[in-house]
Amino acid sequence: MMVLSATFMRSEAAEWSAQPSLSVRGQYNSNLLLTSSPHEGVWGVWASPGMKFAGSTENFEMSGRTAADFVNYYGGENRSLTNLYFPISAKYTTQRETFGFDGGFIRDNTLMGELRQTGVAINFTQRNMWNLSPSWTHALTEQVSLQAGFQYVNTTYENGLQLGLVDYDLQGGSGAVIYSPGERDEFKLSFSYTDFHAPQANSLRSEIYNVQPSWTHGFSESISATIAGGPSLVHSAVGAEPFRQSDRQTVWVGSANLKKQWEDASAQVEIGRDINPSGFGLLLKTDRLTMTLSKNVNERWTASLSGAYVMSSGLSTQTFRGSFPDNQYITVSPAVNWKIGEWWAVDFTYTYSDRQVKTFNDHATANIGSIMLTYFPPKLRMGR
């Protein structure tokens, strides 16, 4: 960060901006833990201060956010928790080179980030995640470029072992060749290696080797689509020598999405399969279908609808003790945003969640309603 700051300060033309905000939310959740056991609904109060910031020069760009959620639940479950968000992105560009960085720290709970990522509801606790992802892109010609990147993720859970959850590390590298024959098409051939390590899960280590071609096509200025897919070779090993067991398997992963933009609305549909790490101490194969719709009714009112259908299963491997049941997760969330004035906005949101583990005839649903008031003070700007 000191190197980036020095580069920024030496520039002749620099711009900084900061956008603070403060949100207060009232919420009712009929099933906070998304459990099939007897339960009562809870009322929640959220206070969420935050600030977005950005800076740029002729060659350098940086953006990020600092935010927190101070949450208290009352009723069937009396709980207090704190969520923290510190994502940051930076990019430095020369004539042929682009150096990038994405990363930060997130502290949330397992029924927020992990549930959305994997489609599996695990025990309710706080999750801490560090993410570091530098990248480099080199333009060979106007149409061909090379890309390389590295990623490191460290995830820990509060009281994880007591709840059947284990900490894990994930790291790996990737490379790609990108060919852009015109403004509307981009072809990409990607290679990646991922190392998933969960020492608390009987020293489990899984390595993933993936090759994935992709094609992005712009049908018009307002419609675009991307399709990608390829094989992933997964090698897993568990236990201590000389009794360490290992196996190999091939999993096909991929995705396809379609985006449409109007002057006052947008729509996106995506379907795909990927491999995700999990606090259960194993890799999960996740199939998902997601949809997002948004419509600006007028200058003050915006309506949106998002939904997801997710099927998750443990990668079938002899290294995992016992079988992991298939999980199904469905969520639908309509929302309305009302801009009261230049500095104030109100969000009305309803979310329906449905979770099933068919192997154990385990079925749970939740209805969540919330009203959130947000204050946006004037944006702070500084330039020279």
Task: Go through the domains of the chain in sequence order and give each one's CATH number.
Answer: 118-383 (2.40.170.20)
9 pLDDT more than 70: no
Which amino acid makes up residue 218? G
Let me know: does 256 contact 289? Beta carbons within 8 Å. no
4 pLDDT more than 60: no
- Digit-coded pLDDT (tens) for 365-383: 999 999 999 999 988 888 7
Q: Where are the alpha helices (DSSP H) in the chain?
A: 2-10, 113-118
- Digit-coded pLDDT (tens) for 13-48: 788 999 999 999 999 999 998 988 889 999 999 999
Note the pLDDT of residue 2: 39
* Main-chain phi, psi angles of 10, to 5 degrees: -75, -15
Query: What's the farthest any 2 CA atoms get from each other in the chain?
Result: 68
C-alpha 93/C-alpha 210 separation (Å) is 28
* Main-chain phi, psi angles of 117, to 5 degrees: -75, -45
- Digit-coded pLDDT (tens) for 88-104: 999 999 999 999 999 99
Buried b (16+ CB within 10 A) or exposed e, 229-255: ebebebebebeeeeeeeeeeeebebbb
- Of 179, 266, 176, the closest CA to residue 216 belongs to 179
What's the burial of 141, exposed, middle or buried (CB within 10 Å: 0-12/13-18/19+)?
Answer: exposed
Let me know: does 71 contact 45? Beta carbons within 8 Å. yes
**How many other β-carbons are positioned within 10 Å of the β-carbon of residue 208?**
21
Structure tokens at 357: 């583990």
- Digit-coded pLDDT (tens) for 329-372: 999 999 999 999 889 999 999 999 999 987 778 899 999 999 99
